[in-house]
């Protein structure tokens, strides 16, 4: 910092006293800018921490039974079996039950994987 101020002052032919005054001004400006920067960083850090702490906890996946999926997609059980065999939907066998992931079924409805006949 001192070298840049010295070069600045020597370019304009300033006296030693004027050099000292400008050096003090530059130091004060640097201190003020440092305080402002610290304040901004602290504020941003607090906001980021608040956002991170308020993020929703991951919830357990929800599953639908075959009957529920048939009702949601307006299809019969044999049609649902066809969708599963063609890998349009993925079935998960949990114990003796066949379940379908709710997010996958919602996407199937949303993006038209299954077509409702009219």
- What are 55-101's pLDDT values in tens digits? 666 666 688 999 988 988 888 999 999 999 988 888 998 888 999 99
Which residue intervals of the chain are DSSP H helices? 2-11, 16-53, 66-73, 77-85, 102-110
Cα–Cα distances (Å) from 43 to 38, 51, 88, 96, 106, in that order, read: 9, 12, 48, 54, 40
Determine the Cα angle at 106 with ends 102 and 112, to 5°.
145
Question: The whole model's pTM is what?
Answer: 0.45
């Amino acid at each position: 910092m001192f070298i840049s101020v010295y070069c600045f002052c020597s370019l304009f032919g300033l006296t030693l006293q004027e050099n000292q005054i400008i050096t003090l001004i530059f130091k004060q400006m640097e201190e003020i800018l440092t305080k402002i920067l610290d304040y901004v960083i602290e504020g941003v850090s607090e906001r980021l921490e608040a956002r991170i702490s308020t993020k929703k906890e991951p919830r357990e996946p929800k599953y639908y039974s075959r009957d529920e999926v048939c009702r949601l997609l307006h299809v019969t059980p044999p049609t649902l079996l066809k969708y599963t065999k063609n890998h349009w939907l993925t079935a998960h066998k949990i114990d003796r039950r066949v379940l379908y992931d709710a997010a996958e079924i919602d996407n199937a409805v949303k993006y038209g994987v299954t077509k409702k006949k009219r």
